[in-house]
Structure 1
């Protein structure tokens, strides 16, 4: 649920089967359905929220063509990535997700380092996508004040405090309403669809000015970016790529789903397909009624959607009413993203890959929540928000590092699968068949390109305030990962040692043996 990230449902109801202590796998309650997982993935992507909060990025880099056709292009690429991951997930449906898949697909010699790299990329990606969703939600709330007080410009303290408030709400929902997250994920999916329809109808019905179809589908103006024309289009793809990142996060909930080898892969791919259609339904009407782009880009807090709604409807109340729909989607997304982040933290800590793993891998049976992992994820997000005091472009950096980390974590097991000639997935229940190589290679190529693109500043010339610090944040976490591996990981970490599949705890070597016998 957006209410994710990797949003999702915490188990309620059923008591956990208590296994031995230490870092042993917990047999988690299986009370999530395919619809709930799809809702969680859909919620994490939070299309209206993601597209609204990053609209300035694509408008700066090409305007309409980048907005609409960039979305279509990235939606198709994301379908390929989701399908590639779903094919692997159908063979290895575990809470470890991509980091476990990297271990299973690698040879014993490279298993530890492959799973370590992928695990840290996934972990940082989960944390930073939660951070970016919550931060933009705080900015959206403050933009609502600007609707009624046009001279209001939130200062850095107000922005950070509002962000912390959003994080507190998302954390509270995960802690105290874990039994209802299944229901909330479903509600999120319904709310998001309804919000898009209502916003679309109201904007088209009230707009006094409408742009031409040529403007919506063919207008391209990259001059605001300062980049060469073609390169500007690709830099502007960050809007779509950021929005379409959360689908892989739901793999961390595999152990809470009945028949995860069938249900989770379907949920991943269907959620991306639904998100792609939802984005088109949201963006096309928005572009038809879009006010002057210069006015949009001049909004002080970088979140112009409230101003757009108000200008188009001609009413402050109308603008605020439409903004509320987006705000609720954003809260769902933040909650869901934090759910997924807490599960990812819990899963990685069980293998001793995080400093203080014994503490972060504990599970609270009373609340049915990995409480310590949840609180760690929330605390890290809150601390990273302090970067905003040093750079007003912090949000762009959060968006960039989240997209880079999640994309590369998705790409790593796909790349290993290609190098191993796709032997491990030849009997997958979600097989890509004869198109497998082509889809896998295309997605890995895109991911490599995206790492370069999303470290770029939105526009040039570059100032200290407008710099994209995604690479700095990324390298900071990379440094922590390398240091911890040198201090402890290389001595004690052998990759994921156990996994629960079909309620049975198995070692990785046992599962590899089973796969070889099947092949």
Structure 2
């Protein structure tokens, strides 16, 4: 009934009033949330996107612009993986532990376990698309009594991965630059402080780039991914087709027997040396967790994020295998690479030097250096998101400072520079000789622990509680989870093994992972029991009070909404 028929005033028209509120329930969104099943989120924008609905249902505000697509998210993670510099910087842990077997069939075995870890992580990321990632998932899947402690441990372990990545890559990049300096300048004498200052300069530039707006970062990483693939392809072709083996009286390629053979450079049995070489594969194929930490900046995050994780792991694994096969089939003198007879301090440069003429060696090493730089700032991006998201829940000292989003760039600039400062402190380890190598191995063991705890909970305690996202493994979920957890349980002690045993395991040859990682974790856990347990209870919502209502209140609001949105004159007629 219209107002014209009652008051006979055609100039007045009242339209039905509708509510401008949207009720978002974690149960209806099909997520396990930090705000609990009995609460819902009240948002005053009826045109909310699916991504924003999901992140609010998980208990967080939408603070970033969603300017990452599937490809740009993949681009960041592929840049973080940095295949060329990763292979170049970790040859010491593969070829120098188990010979060619470490980069051929040893790589294949490790890749199977790592892919299981990545696929299981992808499934979890679809269910919990937050930048907190593994830490948030752990809290949601853990028994209530232990969720604070377990998420605390996973959060700190994952943070150790992120905060050590960029300085270790900066160190590798500087080491390769100085190796080329030694190769081209006979008068140059390497000094550790040269490497430290050069690495510092590299990381400062990387931090500046990582502080840029999301749109700029997405564009830079898209370009760098294309460059990465081009450099990998060019290096691959030159190593295979442009090598100088025939001029040295050698066949173009090594025999398969030689390329796949174990040459044990450790004092452990052959099987252990192969397992120890997995550290290089773990590092080379790392970075696939980056899409998880960028989920709040990615559109269609519940499918784009897991797809980016899987694509990064599979593409990186296969391309990395092809590249390392090229090395195994062309290396001239394995002992010279391992023992660095040229005094270059970098096995990859030593490999190129014995295989190619000087111009080609300089060109390929320069490509590795450029991609290492790209990898360093990509790692800083991922690390800043981790520090931001964990600080949002009060996980770190001065959390309010690190959880701020810069109003100009809309990125966590404070978190970027906090990580840079810690990285500078870690780089001081290079003055302790081999101690700097612990930064690499810490990244491997810390990542495996943080990557796998939520998967372990997924297949045990939370196997009935877990709510899969739109991307899931279906009936293969448990198989993938069991394989991933078994692989990690096997590798955790191996990653702490030194190359030499007994009296030969001198301080300068010690695997300092035992001290650097486990001592750090011991302090983090000790802090939890001493004080943090009083203030930290797991992930917490940062939604405003007016955005949270109980289910009962929501029902009342829906009733009011129904009354308001109806035609008020219908009730008049009934009365």
TM-score by length of 1: 0.88
Q: Where does residue 319 of structure 1 map in the other structure?
A: 361
Alpha-carbon offset, residue 406 of structure 1: 0.8
Task: Name the CA distance, whole Å, in 1 between partners of 2:169 and 2:548.
Answer: 36
State whether residues 24 and 350 of structure 1, in contact with CA within 8 Å, keep that contact through their aligned partners in structure 2. no
Q: Where does residue 219 of structure 2 map in the other structure?
A: 183
Instruction: Indicate which of 357, 379, 386 corresponds to 1:344.
Output: 386
* SS, match of residue 262 in structure 1: helix
Relative to structure 1, is the Cα distance of residues 506 and 170 closer, same or farther in structure 2, using a 3 angstrom cutoff? farther
Give the root-mean-square deviation of aligned CA atoms. Answer: 2.3
Alpha-carbon offset, residue 476 of structure 1: 3.1
Relative to structure 1, is the Cα distance of residues 216 and 94 closer, same or farther in structure 2, using a 3 angstrom cutoff? farther
Instruction: Indicate which of 184, 194, 202 corresponds to 2:230.
Output: 194
Q: Where does residue 418 of structure 1 map in the other structure?
A: 459
State whether residues 124 and 468 of structure 2, in contact with CA within 8 Å, keep that contact through their aligned partners in structure 1. no
Task: Name the CA distance, whole Å, in 2 between partners of 1:506 and 1:166.
Answer: 45
List per-residue Cα deviations over 1:123-157 (Å, max 9, x = no partner): 11111122222221111111111221357452221
Alpha-carbon offset, residue 108 of structure 1: 2.2
State whether residues 122 and 405 of structure 1, in contact with CA within 8 Å, keep that contact through their aligned partners in structure 2. yes
Q: How many residues align?
A: 483
Matched, 1:114 2:150: yes
Q: Where does residue 44 of structure 1 map in the other structure?
A: 80
Task: Name the CA distance, whole Å, in 2 between partners of 1:157 and 1:403.
Answer: 26
Instruction: Indicate which of 147, 156, 181 corresponds to 2:192.
Output: 156
Q: Where does residue 25 of structure 2 map in the other structure?
A: none
State whether residues 129 and 337 of structure 1, in contact with CA within 8 Å, keep that contact through their aligned partners in structure 2. yes
Instruction: Indicate which of 125, 128, 131 corresponds to 1:92.
Output: 128
Query: Which stretch has the larger CA shift, 443-452 or 292-301?
Result: 292-301
Q: Where does residue 535 of structure 2 map in the other structure?
A: 492
Alpha-carbon offset, residue 424 of structure 1: 4.0
Matched, 1:139 2:175: yes
List per-residue Cα deviations over 1:298-340 (Å, max 9, x = no partner): 22454122232233222x2221111111111111110100100
Gaps of 5+ in 1: 1-16, 18-22, 511-519
Q: Where does residue 515 of structure 1 map in the other structure?
A: none
Q: Where does residue 248 of structure 1 map in the other structure?
A: 289
Alpha-carbon offset, residue 458 of structure 1: 3.0
Task: Name the CA distance, whole Å, in 2 between partners of 1:165 and 1:344.
Answer: 23
Matched, 1:305 2:355: no
Task: Name the CA distance, whole Å, in 2 between partners of 1:120 and 1:360.
Answer: 15
Gaps of 5+ in 2: 1-51, 53-58, 246-251, 552-575
Q: Where does residue 389 of structure 1 map in the other structure?
A: 431
Task: Name the CA distance, whole Å, in 1 between partners of 2:232 and 2:191.
Answer: 31
Q: Where does residue 498 of structure 2 map in the other structure?
A: 457
Q: Where does residue 473 of structure 2 map in the other structure?
A: 432
Instruction: Indicate which of 395, 401, 410 corresponds to 2:442.
Output: 401
State whether residues 72 and 218 of structure 2, in contact with CA within 8 Å, keep that contact through their aligned partners in structure 1. yes
Relative to structure 1, is the Cα distance of residues 506 and 338 closer, same or farther in structure 2, using a 3 angstrom cutoff? farther
Instruction: Indicate which of 52, 64, 70 corresponds to 1:28.
Output: 64
Task: Name the CA distance, whole Å, in 2 between partners of 1:304 and 1:151.
Answer: 21
Matched, 1:259 2:300: yes
State whether residues 147 and 306 of structure 1, in contact with CA within 8 Å, keep that contact through their aligned partners in structure 2. no
State whether residues 441 and 495 of structure 2, in contact with CA within 8 Å, keep that contact through their aligned partners in structure 1. yes
| Higher Rg | 2
Task: Name the CA distance, whole Å, in 2 between partners of 1:499 and 1:68.
Answer: 48
Alpha-carbon offset, residue 216 of structure 1: 5.2
* SS, match of residue 507 in structure 2: coil
Matched, 1:358 2:381: no
State whether residues 206 and 376 of structure 2, in contact with CA within 8 Å, keep that contact through their aligned partners in structure 1. yes
Alpha-carbon offset, residue 217 of structure 1: 4.0
Alpha-carbon offset, residue 483 of structure 1: 3.8
Query: Which stretch has the larger CA shift, 187-196 or 375-384?
Result: 187-196
Task: Name the CA distance, whole Å, in 2 between partners of 1:264 and 1:424.
Answer: 22
List per-residue Cα deviations over 1:351-373 (Å, max 9, x = no partner): 11101111111121112221111
Q: Where does residue 212 of structure 1 map in the other structure?
A: 254
Task: Name the CA distance, whole Å, in 1 between partners of 2:114 and 2:483.
Answer: 11
Alpha-carbon offset, residue 24 of structure 1: 7.1
Task: Name the CA distance, whole Å, in 2 between partners of 1:197 and 1:145.
Answer: 25
Task: Name the CA distance, whole Å, in 2 between partners of 1:499 and 1:101.
Answer: 17
List per-residue Cα deviations over 1:5-43 (Å, max 9, x = no partner): xxxxxxxxxxxx9xxxxx974521100011111111111
Task: Name the CA distance, whole Å, in 1 between partners of 2:304 and 2:466.
Answer: 17
State whether residues 153 and 301 of structure 1, in contact with CA within 8 Å, keep that contact through their aligned partners in structure 2. no
Task: Name the CA distance, whole Å, in 2 between partners of 1:105 and 1:176.
Answer: 34
List per-residue Cα deviations over 1:61-90 (Å, max 9, x = no partner): 221111112222222222111110111111
Alpha-carbon offset, residue 395 of structure 1: 3.4
State whether residues 126 and 249 of structure 1, in contact with CA within 8 Å, keep that contact through their aligned partners in structure 2. no
Task: Name the CA distance, whole Å, in 2 between partners of 1:282 and 1:248.
Answer: 22
Alpha-carbon offset, residue 267 of structure 1: 0.4
Instruction: Indicate which of 54, 62, 68 corresponds to 2:104.
Output: 68
Task: Name the CA distance, whole Å, in 2 between partners of 1:105 and 1:124.
Answer: 22
Q: Where does residue 227 of structure 1 map in the other structure?
A: 268
Alpha-carbon offset, residue 495 of structure 1: 0.6
Q: Where does residue 378 of structure 1 map in the other structure?
A: 420
